[in-house]
Structures are given as structure tokens and as C-alpha cells.
Amino acid sequence: MMKKKQTEEKEMKGAEIAIRCLEKANVETIFAYPGGQSIELHQALKDAKIRVVLPRHEQGGAFAAVGYARITGKTGVCMATSGPGATNLITGIADAYMDSVPLVVVTGQVGTHFIGKNAFQETDIIGITRPIVKHSYLVMDINDIPKIFAEAFYLANSGRPGPVVIDIPKNIQQQRSVPVFPEEVILRAYRPEHKLNEADVLKIKDAIKDCKRPCIYAGGGIITAEASDALRKFAESFNIPVVTTLMGIGCIPDKHPLCLKWLGMHGTVYANNAANEADLLLAFGARFDDRVTGPVKTFAQDAKIVHVDIDLSEINKNKHADIGVLADIKDMLDALNKAPIYKEYKEWHAQIREWKKKYPLSYKENNNIQPQYVIQTLSRLTKGEAVIVPGVGQHQMWSGQYYEYKYPRQFLTSGGLGSMGFGLPAAMGAKIACPDKLVVNIDGDGSFQMNIQELGTIHNEDVWLKMIILNNQHLGMVAQWEDRFYGSRRGNTDLRNARSNRPYPDFVTIAKGYQIPGREVYKKSEVEDAIREMLETPGPFLIDCHTGYQEHVLPMIPPGKTYKDILNE
């Protein structure tokens, strides 16, 4: 159902109506790559008050829109033509779906009379993306465009956020009509708002009253719901320690005395111990994914489980909840905070302090350039204020471990999908969204090369992005698994050039080809000076930091094992 408002709009093309819809949705930036079936949309954008960022690859545009959305909480927008343009967006769409990121994706399509006939550059992008979107639309009537766009933005950024695809055939873009824009969106079958049940609040409080070893397990939903302040207040007023997921990093400051950092395969020993040995686990905005739980039957097996989530399908999906609550987590925390139950938990906190002392997050330092040292140095020099956007791999885990985070939306990472190639374009999108923030892309040489072409966008759009490549000449995380579980037998994880005596490729020379300055670092003594140069140089800057490939991300819970099997060396 849609409340419509009669307007005195003039007749316009379908493409012009679509762009007017973006303006009405307060879209300020769109990441868009043109093509034959989206040319009308780009022509309409020429007259719009929207910044158009031209990525050098559609996947880069999708990730940039995701980075834009992650740092702001607003809906990211990207656009491509039909066929290969649309299919190149799929990895970015999947990333947004897995991590609940609001995204509206606009694609051009062949004319309606060509659909289903294998026309040039025709693909069924609706069918292809159906498993990885919140909803999708194929526009078959020009008069539906205002309604569809209004619904798409409403769906993308309400309830549990996610991506929405709008596919517009070219003849629909070219038709003319007088648009009628809706005043309000009302979807009868969609109820993203959930009234808080006071009985659920009391159930959780009763569970807290009865427990001796409580632990908060906070996920990305805390950040999405803008509930970080409420979470911190709850933790302090109830005196309960907090472990986060990778997506939840920053929802409570790393230095907070109740923060145990993140748990899971590469989380801290004390976070894993606390979550698994608690007698009450308060899962807030988290989904019990396999990288956190390991074998789900043995995860927190002696704890009473409280699970609060905005998405009913997540409750009892992976882990049975003794108390499952469908609610906005911020509403729930605000209600719980009205009458806190403070308990000392002396033995529990003493046990946690003992774990922290016995199993600190650390590494064996040596005279080589170690990735952990680089990230610690960056954290110190930036005073923990930078927004960190890693690619995916070992450097991603070290970035989560060794940078000290202070606030939400400070660590932007591909969590659920774990997509290499994410870091550079997502960092670019984040910096475009927040030009006054220091944004640093920490990447691996493998991940960086997957979207290296976005250096062209960074230069042409004057994006002052800082980039550090932790270059170990390997696909480091896979090589680590080979070292640990496959007798160091290399299965195509070595990126070195056998015909060259120096690291390959020469990233600094490539950056200079895009007119971006850079610096190579080979000695530990050069690291701090190089980072200072990067931070002090106006504009974008790239550091190619050469590390050894022998370094492993630790701690590590081997696949299929429990927290008791965690490796520390």
C-alpha cells in the first residue's frame, strides 16, 4: 500500500524519474559505471544534484557503496549496466547481505521485448541475486518507478538492513510519464518495528539475578542499531564483561575494563574462555556464526542463552536460545538500563583477570618487520582515532587484534563473506563519505591486487586515502593453514615471481603510474618514519611494507575444534 501525493511534476523520462527518486531519498553520492543499458540513467544524472563517482570496475563500485554505508549508516547506492556490468556487482551485493549493510543497487536491463531471448548483454540479474538480497524489483511499468524506489530505500535500511536490487529495462527508462511520488511507504506484509514486550525484559532480568558468571556477546547489530552507548551503560551498570564479534568491534572501547575484545577463531583466549565458561550468555545483535562458535553443540554448552535480535529467523537458527527475544536491541538495552542489577561477581572477574594475565594478546618480537608491529605503530601514531578498513586475510585479523579501537564504525571489514578485494574500494567509499576522517586501508598484497584499479578512482576523485600493504608475497591466511594442517605443502599460495630477485609486483611504481605517491619499507627501523610520512603527506599515499610470510595469526582455534584447543604458538 502506498500513500500517493499528486504533484505538479512535468512529464519526464523513466530514467529521469529514477534519478529524481534518488534525490528524494537524499542520496548524495552514487558509485556508477555506465554501459549501453544504463546510458539513459547516466544522462539523467548529469542534471542531478548527486555526486557520481566513476569506479574503474563495477565490483569496486559496489564495495565503495558498501564502505560508504558502513561508515555512515546511510544506504549506499551503486549502479551498473546489464549483463557483465550487473554480474560484476554480485560480490558486493553478497557482502552487504552477509553483513546486513543497507544498499540499493540499480541496474540497466535490455528492453522488455528482449527479456528472455538471450539478447546482447542480457542476464537475469533478479534471478541471479535472489538468494543474496533482501528484495528485488524488475520494473515493467514506468509509473511504478516512484513507488519501487521509495520501497527499496525503506526496505534496505529498516529492520535488519540489507541490499535491494532495482532492474530497469532500457525502454522503460526511455518512456515518458508524469511521475507521482509517494508520501509514505506502507508494506502490509513487512513489519520492521517490534514493540518491546515488558515480559521479555523481566525474563532477562530474572536470568541475570540468578547467574554468577554472566557474559555479553555483542555483534554487529549493536552498531547497526546505534546502540553502542546503551550497551556500554548496560555493561557498566550491571557489571558484566563484554566480548564482541569481528563485526562488533568498536561497540565498546578496547581499553574499557569490561571489554575482552573479540572472540572466535582468532579472538583472544580470555574472550573465548569467558563466553564458553559463562553460566549466562547475553547474545545481543549477534548470530552465532561458525567462526565464533566452532562446533555449535559445545559452544557455551553450560550457559543459559539469551538471544535478542531484530531478525526472527536468527533466533534458534544456529544455537538454541533459552530466552529468545525479537526486538530492536537499543530498545531492549534502554529498557534494561532503567533499573540495573549491579552485582560484584568477584570470583568471575578475578578469573577473567587471571586469563588476561596468563594469555595476553601478544607475539614474539624479532628484528624483522612484523605485521603486528606495523599496526601497533599505526595505532600509536594515530592515537587510535583512524578508521581502519582491511582487505581479507591475515592482515584483517591483525588489524582487528592490534589496533586499539575507540568507537563504532571504526573497523569496517568484510565479515560474513570474507571477500578479498574488499579493502581498497570500501576504504575509498568510506573516505568519500567522511572526508574529514582519517581512513586507512590495511591490505595484503593478494587482496590489494583484486581491485588495484581503484587507484585511478582515488586519484581522479582526489580521495585522500592512506594505504598500507603488508606484503608477504603469499596468500598469507591460506599459507598459514597449509603450514598448520598440510605440512607446509604449497598449493598455489606463493605469489612471488620466480624470474625476479625482488618482490613482485612493484606496488609503488604502479601507484606512481596513477600519480599517487608511495614508499617501500624493508627495515623495521623505517616503519615509524614511513607511517609519519604517509600521515603528513597531503592526498593519498601508499606504503608497501615488506614482511616475512612465516608469521602466523595467533591465537587460532583449529577448524572443527573448541576453545579448549586454541593454539597460542
State the catalytic residues: 58, 120-121, 170, 477
> Residue 474: what are its φ and ψ, rounded to 5°?
-140, 160
The DSSP annotation for 205-223 comes to: HHHHHH-SSEEEEE-HHHH
Summary count for the chain: helices (H), strands (E): 23, 21
Angstrom CA distances, 178 to 142, 159, 166, 310, stand at: 9, 32, 20, 38
> Residue 311: what are its φ and ψ, rounded to 5°?
-110, 110
Angle at 353 between CA 348 and CA 356, to 5 degrees: 130
Are 444 and 424 in contact, with CB atoms under 8 Å apart?
Answer: no
Distance in angstroms (rounded) separating the CA atoms of residues 341 and 306:
16
Distance in angstroms (rounded) separating the CA atoms of residues 55 and 34:
10
Supply the DSSP symbol for 326: E
Core vs surface per residue 17-36: b (16+ CB within 10 A) or e: bbbbbbeebebebbbbbbbe
Q: How far does CA 544 lie from the centroid of its chain?
A: 24
Cell of 545: 611494507
Q: How many residues does the chain have?
A: 569
Residue 244's DSSP bridge partners are 218, 262
Distance in angstroms (rounded) separating the CA atoms of residues 410 and 251:
9
Distance in angstroms (rounded) separating the CA atoms of residues 284 and 337:
14
Rg (CA), the chain: 24
Distance in angstroms (rounded) separating the CA atoms of residues 189 and 566:
45
The CA-based dihedral angle spanning residues 433, 438, 442, 446, taken in that order and rounded to the nearest 10 degrees: 40
Distance in angstroms (rounded) separating the CA atoms of residues 230 and 236:
10
Cell of 537: 603527506
Q: Minimal CA–CA distance to 416: which of 51, 59, 70?
A: 70
Around 151, how many Cα atoms within 13 Å sit in the side-chain half-sphere?
22
Cell of 521: 619499507
Are 266 and 246 in contact, with CB atoms under 8 Å apart?
Answer: no
Angle at 60 between CA 59 and CA 65, to 5 degrees: 100
